[in-house]
Amino acid sequence: MNEKENRRPLKARSWAIMKKTAQWISKKDITPNQISIASIVFSGLAGLFFLLFPIAGSTLWFYALLILLCFVGRAFCNILDGLVAVEGGKATASGELFNDIPDRISDALIIVSAGYAAGIPTLGWLAALLAVMTAYTRTLGRGLGAPTDFQGPMSKLPRMLIISAACFLTPIEVMIWQTGYALALSLIVISIGCVITIWKRAKSAYDYLEGNSDA
């Protein structure tokens, strides 16, 4: 997290509200690492609300809304920790640990819980494992000397957008058709996309390390 070239490219970092919020936080006794850990709290709450889906009944809309708000909270943390660290001058030597590990925990909490909410826990565990593997492949490649690779199609942002869309559509689906396929479908799409992403990142790292790439 202390090297700009290792940061995921995000347009949201240039938003005025993000910059002003980061500037305000930078003046407080709040570290980027604390912000990264806060993202786990939001993800854990989202996971808890997903687990309540099967018994939510008429309050399903309410839980879906809470989950989406938790996703927004996680996204804000993911953006602000980097801004406070780099632009706010609070980067630390251990920053990269707090940048990656909380994200992997958050992915697991959200995706596994979505699997339970969909009634297919195995699918949730599979999608979560593959999501973590995309990050592992990127980190391993960088550790071996290849450029940091955030290519998709199923990097973190697309995963969260797909889960968010499924979360929004689930109450509508239940109300109109009394079915619950949206979450399961989203996990299938995430799983397939993660497999493709792992392959593309591994191939890019291989080509670079073997001198087969102009990267």
Query: Do the beta carbons of residue 161 and residue 186 sit within 8 Å?
Result: no
For residue 203, tell me if it sits in a domain. Answer: yes
User: What percent of the chain lies above the pLDDT cut of 70?
Assistant: 92
For residue 107, tell me if it sits in a domain. Answer: yes
The whole-number average pLDDT for the span 101-113 is: 96
For residue 29, tell me if it sits in a domain. Answer: yes
- Domain with 134, as residue range(s), is 12-209
The residues, ordered by sequence, that sit 6+ positions from 21 with a Cβ below 8 Å of its Cβ are: 76, 80
Is residue 12 very low, low, confident or very high in pLDDT (cuts 50, 70, 90)? low
Identify the pLDDT of residue 214. 56
For residue 7, tell me if it sits in a domain. Answer: no
For residue 3, tell me if it sits in a domain. Answer: no
Alpha-carbon gap, residue 24 to 136, rounded angstroms = 33
9 preceded by a cis bond (ω within 30 of 0): no
SS3 188: helix
Query: Do the beta carbons of residue 139 and residue 104 sit within 8 Å?
Result: no
Domain count of the fold of the chain: 1
Identify the pLDDT of residue 96. 84
Query: Do the beta carbons of residue 96 and residue 6 sit within 8 Å?
Result: yes
For residue 4, tell me if it sits in a domain. Answer: no
CATH number for the domain that contains residue 90: 1.20.120.1760
pLDDT value at 9 more than 90: no
The residues, ordered by sequence, that sit 6+ positions from 122 with a Cβ below 8 Å of its Cβ are: 115
For residue 75, tell me if it sits in a domain. Answer: yes
Nearest of 170, 179, 161, 186 to residue 63 by alpha carbon: 170
Helices 156-177 and 95-118, axial angle in degrees (round to 10): 20
Biggest CA pair distance of the chain:
58
pLDDT in tens, 171-204: 999 999 988 899 999 999 999 999 999 999 999 9
For residue 113, tell me if it sits in a domain. Answer: yes
Query: Do the beta carbons of residue 151 and residue 197 sit within 8 Å?
Result: yes
Alpha-carbon gap, residue 33 to 49, rounded angstroms = 25
